[in-house]
Amino acid sequence: MQTLTLANGTLIPPLGFGTYKVPPDVTQQVVETALEVGYRHIDTAAMYGNEREVGAAISASGLARDDLFVTTKLDNPDHEPAAARAGFARSLDLLGLDVVDLYLIHWPLPRTTDYVATWATLVELLDTGRVREIGVSNFQADHLRAIIAATGVVPAVNQVEVNPYLTQEPLRALHRELGIVTEAWSPLARGRVLSDPLVNRLAEALDKTPSQVVLRWHLQRGDVVFPKSTHRARMVENLDVFDFTLGDDEMASISGLNRDERSGSNPDAVELDGGRR
Ligand SMILES: NC(=O)c1ccc[n+]([C@@H]2O[C@H](COP(=O)([O-])OP(=O)(O)OC[C@H]3O[C@@H](n4cnc5c(N)ncnc54)[C@H](OP(=O)(O)O)[C@@H]3O)[C@@H](O)[C@H]2O)c1
């Protein structure tokens, strides 16, 4: 798998493994299986309540730390600078890691929170050497512009919902302009896009599965993805997308499925206890 390079030079595998809604009691086993079948990039968050178990799986895998890319995220109640520093330390502690590869503000909470001050705190965390790259999640265009104007620091990534039903062209264009890597969460629209008739026709013609076609579409667009599955066979299937290419017409037809439809929460509407849908 060819890696992408983030703002500070850290290499990120563009296809990773997501852990949202993986219950803590099975997380260690699920993540151990993901690492065993070949995933080297794990996406978690304080909000998911499974960082300890993700860390246990990493430790049990015996993999060298440098061979793994680990992302976690600041929880909604931890925006205030002192709470953000404490939340970051807690995440590293639960993960059992000295350094995390990527740390994100999970939701901007624009109605209630000074997310610009939170971003300034993440910029300070870079100086501790305990995080390689900092970024944001669920930031809209105006949120991105505000944090960059205030600090001069461009987030390495913006992790937002992207899938064939929500292609996010304007936001992705802004990311390209600003040099931000797009991370596409819910890349399969939580499974909904897998029954789409066009995706199924393309999959049949290419002798691939619907999930493989959709993940390939994301990767050819240059986005980073981390599909979640608790099933080993699906983990293997989702990783097996590097032996075929979608042509321009196929790419365009999948992009044409866009209906600006979200599977998850709208970032402008999420409040302190939100973002869990
Ligand atoms: N930053 C944010 O606010 C945010 C929000 C949401 C998600 N995320 C991140 O993005 C990751 C991925 O998003 P997601 O988990 O919401 O959704 P997703 O990856 O789009 O879809 C996961 C769903 O698809 C099913 N699935 C996976 N592979 C499949 C396959 N090959 N065939 C059939 N079904 C398949 C899974 O079922 P099984 O598990 O039963 O196989 C699960 O129900 C999350 O885990 C998390 O790390 C971030």
Which residues have a Cβ under 8 Å from the Cβ of 16 and sit 6 or more positions away? 39, 40, 41, 42, 43, 69, 71, 224, 225, 226
Which residues have a Cβ under 8 Å from the Cβ of 254 and sit 6 or more positions away? 164, 198, 199, 202, 213, 214, 217, 246
Crossing angle of helices 115-127 and 81-95, in 10° steps, is 50
User: Ligand 1 centre from 190 Cα, in Å?
Assistant: 5
Q: Whose CA is nearest to atom 5 of ligand 1?
A: 185
CA angle 276, 3, 7 (to 5 degrees): 70
Residue 135: closest CA among 146, 122, 149, 117: 122
Question: Does ligand 1 come within 6 angstroms of the Cβ of 210?
Answer: no
Work out whether the CA dihedral 243, 57, 48, 9 comes out positive or negative.
Answer: negative
What CA–CA distances, in Å, run from 124 to 71, 89, 96, 134, 178?
18, 13, 21, 10, 21
3: DSSP letter: P
Kindly report the pTM of this predicted structure: 0.97
Question: Does ligand 1 come within 6 angstroms of the Cβ of 231?
Answer: yes
Tokens linked to 129? 């050497």
Question: Does ligand 1 come within 6 angstroms of the Cβ of 33?
Answer: no
pLDDT of residue 277: 47
Question: Does ligand 1 come within 6 angstroms of the Cβ of 190?
Answer: yes
Q: How far apart are CA 49 and CA 206, in angstroms?
A: 39
User: Ligand 1 centre from 141 Cα, in Å?
Assistant: 25
Question: Does ligand 1 come within 6 angstroms of the Cβ of 186?
Answer: yes
User: Ligand 1 centre from 211 Cα, in Å?
Assistant: 11
User: Ligand 1 centre from 236 Cα, in Å?
Assistant: 14
CA angle 94, 98, 102 (to 5 degrees): 85
Active site residue 39: no
Decide: helix, strand or coil at residue 105.
strand
What is the chain's pLDDT, residue by residue, as a tens digit (277 residues)?
899 999 999 999 999 999 999 999 999 999 999 999 999 999 999 999 999 999 999 999 999 999 999 999 999 999 999 999 999 999 999 999 999 999 999 999 999 999 999 999 999 999 999 999 999 999 999 999 999 999 999 999 999 999 999 999 999 999 999 999 999 999 999 999 999 999 999 999 999 999 999 999 999 999 999 999 999 999 999 999 999 999 999 999 999 999 999 999 999 887 765 655 4
CA angle 167, 168, 171 (to 5 degrees): 155
pLDDT of residue 276: 56
pLDDT of residue 275: 59
Q: How far apart are CA 3 and CA 192, in angstroms?
A: 28
Residue 155: closest CA among 187, 114, 118, 111: 118
Set 39, 48, 103, 115: catalytic member: 48
